[in-house]
A and B are shown apart, each in its own frame.
Chain A
Amino acid sequence: MQAPLTRDQSEFGSIVARIVSDARSGAVRPAPDVDDVPFDADLWSTLRDGGYLAGVAAGGDPVLRGLLSEEIGYRLAPVPVAGSVVGAGALLAEVAPDDQLTEAVLSGEVVAAIAVCDEIVVAGSGGGEVLLSGVVPRVDPLRHADRFLVTGPQGLFVVPASADGLERRPHRFDLTVDAGGLGLHDVPAHRLASGTSEGAGRAIALIRLARACEAVGAARRCLDLTVEHLTVRHQFGRPLGTFQALQHRCAIATVEFEAALSAVRRACRAEAGGDERLAVHIDAAVVSAERALRCAASTAVQLHGGMGFTWEHEAHLYLRRSRAWTAGAETVARTVERIADAVLAEAGRP
């Protein structure tokens, strides 16, 4: 029962839902024996050429960005909107608003990824061109990124994906996300800014929110698939959906989904309204969305019975997303702890 969307927002939601569901993402599914992360290039170009990416990029409308992210999550469409257009775009817009690269990333012409590296070794002269060494635990997107934005205490550096000395270690559990570790060994890079970038934290927060929106969309898909299955599939001479035990599992997942939907929509509105407590809204959205998808994906696999245990049914993709998704590099447990600390700090104040 989240607050209703405006007419324009609803219309935007229906349009992007159609675009994403018409895309061939459903067919670009990973095979068990192929070591590749799919990238839906057609969907990407449709979204880019239609101006949707630019519209929801950093500086665009956060509510519409949330709606597009929900639809991407619904289909687990392999397009790096969260990591590149939203996250890398926000960082570049903050640090180098006039750089050519910024415009290219915000519009979707170039795919970029933020690589947070706390211990980075910078070699080379004091000029703009340096050599970087370090390890980044998680970069998203990894294999389909054209540029890496390496950020650390010494500054922000741009590394082209073709640079020598890059070592990609893909994470293989979540098959619909192009994420993984990145090693840098004397990689030639261009310094964009010195010192810690203020914008990095904010950019990562926006990625986490976009991923939370995706998770909510994914939870909705799990529910839709499950309800349909329970309606069609008969056992004991009647539809499975007539069994109360199964109905109740769906009802439980629905309540979690509705709560998470409220949470992500609120966080998107908080960003749109310039709310000073945006960070806590995002944390609440992340925790709620994780919980909703975890519940919905488990329900989907269980209630699909044997079918849900197969590779060919898509339920496992949602299950993988639900467990691997940590909304960036931070675990939900850490997010919860931060919320608790904030609440306790407030409560302990005389």
Chain B
Amino acid sequence: MTTGVFELDLNLDLGEDVEEFRTELRRWLDGRVPRLVPGMDEAELFDARRRWQRDLFDAGWAGIAWPREYGGRGAGPLQQFVYYEELTKAGAPEPVNQPGIILFGPTLMVLGSEMLKKQYLPRMLSAEDIWCQGFSEPEAGSDLAGVRTTAVLQDDHYVVRGQKVWTSWATYSDRCALLCRTDPSAERHRGLSMLILDLHQPSVEARPITQITGDHREFGELFIDGAQVPVDHVAGEPGGGWAFAMAMLEHERSDLGLHNHARLQARVSQIGEVIAAAIADGRLARADAADLKRRLADVWIRCGLLRDFNAGTALRLANGEEPGARSSIIRLYWSELVQAVGELALACAGPGSAITDEFAFDFLHSRHTTIASGSQQIQRDIVAQRVLGLPRHRTA
């Protein structure tokens, strides 16, 4: 991993205990990081990542900001910030179960019952249970409140019917945080509840969807026809599904970014090496070299600023502030940066040279960043209306 100029120091004193944490983590990581073998198929890759998550959990290095009673480390957001950086620098595999550990878990801690927390959180952190997030439907994309999947209460359980789509890790998952309609008579935002669905039922079918990259991992859809959910498996209040979903999305928009700057910086460094080699070889026309250099500097600066954004978020969380609607600013910044890096990776292949599979994957995959978790347009609505206070033109 390149160091030096790529590591823009923040000049912020994260505190002695945070630096001690960093040192301790580095010491633990040394020699323990599994190397993923090129050519692994998707299922093997997922298994390897799952085992790595288990290793982290067993050694007390999973769920840094999670309370100890749920298997976490009980540290703060600053340690979490450092954690992601160090894992990336050590070349660790991407953590598994992100929808659970980053989004659903922390929200459940605030809004869920004690029973659900005890039953599900430790197993989520250890990756014994893999979680997915059942939000989008064929008729409910950006307009999430339009979900049609129904859950009807019968005696002591709900009976669920409907379809979820573009669900990440659906085919690998054991549990789903399912947004569905429990009260068809209520106003559309109020009739929703967040249910915990056990996917291992005959009435649930998970099918993969091939993504834009040609990859079958990650994406899937769920067909649910009469699945059962115990009545006490509502996360949050019955009818409180919208609030629960929004709290999850705020986590997604801010927290998810926390581990992204380090990976992006590493990728930019790699692209820099490709460009430097091409210039040294005299392979690039002057105009191409100038263009690539300008774009390299641009993404390099923005990666450094993303790190600032993330550190700033961590510091604010540590001060007890909630990111709220401002998380959409980070989401916008991050999503456009990921795409700019993807574009640059593609461009630096240059005329007459092949686009590597890795860079092609990055570019194609990067298109999701302005769609998932609320499209770029939804995020801009949120910034305009909830950060700048402009009048609403619709619910945001």
Q: Which residues of A contact B (CB under 8 A)?
A: 1-4, 223, 227, 230-231, 238-239, 241-244, 247-248, 250-252, 254-255, 258-259, 262-263, 266, 269-270, 272-273, 275, 277, 280-281, 284, 287-288, 333, 336-337, 339-348
Contact = CB atoms under 8 A, between A and B. Distances in A.
A348 B10 contact: no
Contacts of B123: none
A241 B280 CA distance: 51
A343 B309 contact: no
A339 B390 contact: no
Contacts of A266: 8, 10-11, 304, 308
Contact of B384 (A251, A333, A344): A251
A241 B10 contact: no
Interface string B367-380: 00000000001011
A258 B11 CA distance: 18
B313 interface: yes
B32 interface: no
Interface of B: 2, 4-6, 8-12, 268-269, 272-273, 275-277, 279-280, 293-294, 296-298, 300-302, 304-305, 308-309, 311-313, 315-316, 319, 323, 326, 329-330, 332-333, 336, 377, 379-381, 383-385, 387-393
A284 B305 contact: yes
Per DSSP, chain A at the interface is: helix
Contacts of B390: 227, 230-231, 241-242, 247, 250
Contacts of A347: 2, 269, 272-273, 275-276
A33 B330 CA distance: 45
Given A251-B384, A275-B11, A336-B297, A239 B312 contact: no
A251 B383 contact: yes
A2 B312 contact: yes
Contacts of A2: 308-309, 312
A349 B194 CA distance: 52
Contacts of A280: 5, 8
A266 B377 CA distance: 29
What are the 8 closest A-B residue pairs judged by CB atoms, nearest first?
A347-B272, A247-B384, A348-B276, A251-B380, A340-B293, A241-B390, A251-B383, A340-B297
B329 A254 contact: yes
Nearest to A255: B332
B91 to A, nearest CB: 18
Contacts of A345: 5
B395 to A, nearest CB: 13
A25 B381 CA distance: 35
B305 A262 contact: yes
Contacts of B329: 1, 254-255, 258
A277 B8 contact: yes
B293 A284 contact: no
A276 to B, nearest CB: 9
Given A1-B313, A4-B315, A266-B308, A344 B330 contact: no
28 contacts: A1-B313, A2-B312, A4-B312, A230-B390, A239-B391, A241-B391, A242-B391, A243-B393, A248-B377, A251-B380, A254-B329, A254-B383, A255-B332, A258-B329, A262-B312, A263-B301, A269-B12, A333-B294, A341-B293, A343-B268, A343-B297, A344-B272, A346-B6, A347-B269, A347-B272, A347-B273, A347-B276, A348-B276
A99 to B, nearest CB: 32
Given A254-B387, A346-B2, A3 B300 contact: no
A248 to B, nearest CB: 4
A170 B266 CA distance: 47
A227 B389 contact: yes
Contacts of B336: 255
A3 B12 contact: yes
A339 B300 contact: yes
Per DSSP, chain B at the interface is: helix
Given A4-B316, A275-B9, A259 B302 contact: yes
B388 A254 contact: yes
Contact of A346 (B5, B297, B380): B5
B340 to A, nearest CB: 13
Nearest to A224: B388
A3 B10 contact: yes
Given A231-B390, A340-B300, 10 more contacts: A1-B309, A242-B391, A244-B381, A251-B379, A254-B329, A254-B387, A266-B8, A343-B297, A346-B2, A347-B275
A33 B34 CA distance: 72
Given A259-B305, A343-B272, A347-B269, A1 B9 contact: no
B297 to A, nearest CB: 4
Given A251-B332, A343-B5, A347-B2, A269 B11 contact: yes
Nearest to B383: A251
A222 to B, nearest CB: 12
Contact of A270 (B11, B333, B379, B389): B11
A306 to B, nearest CB: 21
A15 to B, nearest CB: 23
B277 A348 contact: yes
B5 A277 contact: yes
A252 B380 contact: yes
Contacts of B312: 1-4, 262
A288 B301 CA distance: 8
A348 B309 contact: no
A284 B381 CA distance: 28
B393 A242 contact: yes
Contacts of B2: 346-347
Nearest to A252: B380
B347 to A, nearest CB: 14
Contact of B333 (A243, A258, A272): A258
Nearest to B321: A4
Nearest to B274: A347
Nearest to A223: B388
Contacts of B5: 277, 280, 342-343, 345-346
B385 A247 contact: yes
Nearest to B319: A4
B383 A255 contact: yes
Nearest to B315: A3
B391 A1 contact: no
A284 B275 contact: no
B11 A273 contact: yes
Contacts of B323: 1
Contacts of A272: 11
A248 B384 contact: yes
B388 A250 contact: yes
- Counting chain B CB atoms within 10 Å of each CB, the highest count among A1, A238, A266 belongs to A1
A303 B8 CA distance: 36
